[in-house]
Amino acid sequence: MSARCTPIRSAHDRWVATRVLLVAVLLAGCGSSGSSPAATDRPAPPVVVVADDYSYRPATLSTTLPVSVRVDNAGTLAHTWTVVSTPIERELDLVPGLVIAEATTEPGQSATIDLAGLAPGTYQVVCAIPGHISAGMVGELVIRGS
Ligand SMILES: [Cu+2]
């Protein structure tokens, strides 16, 4: 048993050790290039909302600014994620002047909108596709103060 643990230094072993060392040096060189921007320089990734047939996940999106929202349509129908300035109860009340941000998506597609211009507060979100508000496709956006 103990003979199996005895180190053997053949030419092949030395060749393998040299290769491992070479790869380690190359990897270390890549890591110290310093040409890529620091993590803090990158814009924050978008917050994701999934639109399904007649619902949003999460129904209430709570976030802080600055933020962009990516809407992923996982349903079989077109959907919008439409932020309105005043809560509405019926589709008839959805007039263009109330819309302050909107992402429209086809099934299997995504759309991203920038919400940097919104003030902190609670906003109603609806799907502007005819019939979807009455089907319950209503959500909420909460922008917390920093
Ligand atoms: Cu919809």
At 54-107, the pLDDT tens digits run: 999 999 999 998 889 999 999 999 999 999 999 999 999 999 999 999 999 999
The predicted structure's pLDDT at residue 82:
98
Cα(72) to centroid(ligand 1), Å: 12
Residue extent(s) of CATH 2.60.40.420 domains in the chain: 44-144
Cα(75) to centroid(ligand 1), Å: 9
Cα(8) to centroid(ligand 1), Å: 69
Cα(52) to centroid(ligand 1), Å: 7
Cα(131) to centroid(ligand 1), Å: 8
Res 112 pLDDT > 60:
yes
Cα(102) to centroid(ligand 1), Å: 12
Tracing tokens 């924050």 back to the chain, one arrives at 44
CA 25 centroid distance within chain: 35
Res 111 pLDDT > 70:
yes
Q: What is the pTM of this model?
A: 0.71
Res 143 pLDDT > 70:
yes
Cα(50) to centroid(ligand 1), Å: 11
Percent of the chain scoring above 90 in pLDDT: 64
Q: Which residues contact residue 133 at a Cβ distance below 8 angstroms, ignoring those fewer than 6 apart?
A: 88, 90, 91, 94, 126, 127
Fold of the domain built from segment(s) 44-144? Immunoglobulin-like (2.60.40)
